[in-house]
Structure 1
Amino acid sequence: MTSDSAMRWTPAPERDAEQASPENDENAPVLSAEDGFTLLDRAGEAYAALVNVLPDGTHHIVACAHGNEPLIECQTLEVLGAAVALASDDSVNVCCVLATAMAASAGRLVGGGIVVRTIERDGTEWVRGWSIQGGWLEPVQAADIRVAYESGGDGPIEAEYRQGEDIPTPDGADAEERCRRRHPANRPPNRRN
């Protein structure tokens, strides 16, 4: 390789610090580390509750958090009875997107949501969705899911559109209280995690 054809490193253009600052974005939610832990716990609970209402079949999940740039994560999982086959990395990524959407919905931004396309064992396909409102998954009407799903994808698909089911909130203590108890500041000093 001659010196003329060698690759050269070029620094990225500098961004205006004032323009890039979150303080100048009136829509950017400001969260503490405790809030982040709480949101991740809440997102994990919402994800588990969603998976628990899925019937037998193959499920294609798309989670989206809205902001200056959309954050999107996809996952495919299989449900057969009480067994769920999934890639744990994909589940973590979906939970992170849900937590981001929950953070955005706590601010003045539109939070985001989740769409599930289900293919049952007999080949029946249907699509339904939920938006993030008040820190939880709220069902979206079938007509709204059709518009959102078809405008963001490859166009119309041969599937039935249904309203999302109600996703039950966690039983027992309020979810925020459980998350608060799990926060590192509220653990005994000998706990490391």
Structure 2
Amino acid sequence: MTSAFRTTRRTKELLRREIPGTAGVLADPHDFAAMRRYRTFPFQDHTRYLRHLEDHLRTRTAQGMRTSLALFDPAAYAEYCAELGIDPDSIDSRARYTGELAATGATLPYAGEPLPQLLPLLVEETGRQAVWDTAATRLAEAGTCQECGADLSHTAFALATQALKELLDGLGDGTHHLVCSIPAGPPPLLAALRVTSEEGRHSLAESPSLTFCTVLAAGIAHRTPGGIVSRSTRPEPRPEATTPHDTVRGWTLRDGWPEPLTAAQVFTAYCTDAETGDPIPPEPHVDHTEGFPLTRPPETHHC
């Protein structure tokens, strides 16, 4: 039996113990390096670890076994073990933590895709889940209206849903990328949403739209400042244009409702470095246009 064969077989055995049904993936080399301090963590090289992991996942898939992927965070894992009083230098502890991720964290199903293709999506989904968790907590803290007793979180979410619908209806046909930003401590809450609209029908994913509305609702409920930026690509370029033009619009949260920015305000916001305040050259083929008014429901004046 060759040394390479023994190494491969042992790696597969270790991976079977590490992956009870959900694989906690160390997507980042720094996270991988942090796990190497544990004696029971058997892997030495991040690239080889990902290659062996992908081989093992494909084998499970070929055998009809379902596997989901979750992002493994060494710092959160250490805190988890400290809270429960369990040994972090243990395969069983890692499997237990991964099981918690499967129940409460962001996961993606694995269906044979190359890991380099899937990992960016997993990182994005994990970030989206974290934003939703924070926004949902912030929204729940809104409580009830002292004047009418209404549940402010419920009211604010309904208003956010209505605002999003009006935005999409007003933007019309095309591909739209919307970003909602609400200050909630460093860093601010950011939710991005990609929508394709055609003849009044809007195609959008459920999870990103839920996160977008939750972040917007948190800003509405607490009357915080914030804003929405949309970037739209027309389905066809203008006749005189050789390339499609993008249109950027903006709104600011004022008294719990998105109010349109002027074209000059949109240009300034979009062409200014958020960290340094320095101007950024405008992109070619991008029109900076004023936002359009959204119908303010009567509830925003009372609650």
Could you tell me the TM-score, scaled by structure 2's length? 0.46
| In structure 1, distance between residues paired with 2:191 and 2:38 | 41
Q: CA RMSD in A?
A: 3.2
What displacement does 1:126 show? 1.1
Indicate the SS of the match to 1:11.
Answer: helix
Report the AA paired with residue 32 of structure 1: G
The alpha carbon displacement at 1:139 in A equals 0.4
Give the SS at the match of 1:134: coil
1:5 counterpart SS class: coil
Q: 2:162 aligns with which of 45, 49, 54?
A: 45
Identity of aligned residues (%): 26
- Residues 69-108 of structure 1: matches in 2 within 5 Å? 69=186, 70-104=188-222, 106=223
Aligned residues: 157
8 Å Cα contact 2:256-2:300 kept in structure 1 = no
Work out the CA distance in 1 between the residues paired with 2:274 and 2:192: 13
Which of 161, 181, 188 matches 2:288? 161
Deviation per residue, 1:130-152 (Å, 9 max, x gap): 01112211001222222322324
3-state SS of the aligned residue for 1:49? helix
- Structure 1 residues 166 and 100: CA distance shift in structure 2, 3 A: same
Q: Is the 8 A contact 2:257 2:300 kept in 1?
A: no
**Residues 132 and 138, structure 1, Cα contact 8 Å, conserved in 2:** yes
Q: CA deviation at 1:74?
A: 0.6
Gaps of 5+ in 2: 1-13, 15-36, 42-73, 83-137, 145-150, 238-243
Once the 2 structures are TM-superposed, how far is the Cα of residue 168 of structure 1 from its aligned partner?
2.1
* Distance (whole Å) between structure 2 residues aligned to residue 168 and residue 59 of structure 1: 20
Q: 1:32 and 1:167, CA in 2 relative to 1: closer, same or farther beyond 3 A?
A: same
Asked whether 1:5 is paired with 2:54, we answer no
Residue among 262, 281, 284 paired with 1:141: 262
If asked which structure has higher relative contact order (CA below 8 Å, sep 6+), I would say 1
| TM-superposed deviation, 1:80 | 1.0
| Amino acid aligned to 2:288 | Y
Contact 1:101 1:113 in 2 (8 A): no
CA deviation digits over 1:89-113, x for unaligned, max 9? 2111110111112134x2xx4x211
Unaligned runs of 5+ residues in structure 1 are: 14-27, 181-193
Specify the alignment match of 2:20 in structure 1.
none
Offset of 1:4 from its aligned partner? 5.9
State the match for 1:24 in structure 2: none
| 1:149-192 deviations in Å (ceiling 9; x for gaps) | 2324986322110110111235xxx3469xx9xxxxxxxxxxxx
Structure richer in helix, relative to its length: 2
Instruction: Tell which deviates more after alignment, 91-100 or 140-149.
Output: 140-149
CA distance in 2, matches of 1:92, 1:10: 30
Letter matched to residue 144 of structure 1: Q
Cα distance in structure 2, aligned partners of 1:4 and 1:141: 56
Task: Provide the secondary structure at the position in 1 that maps to 2:79.
Answer: coil
Equivalents in 2 of 1:5, 1:50: separation in Å? 54
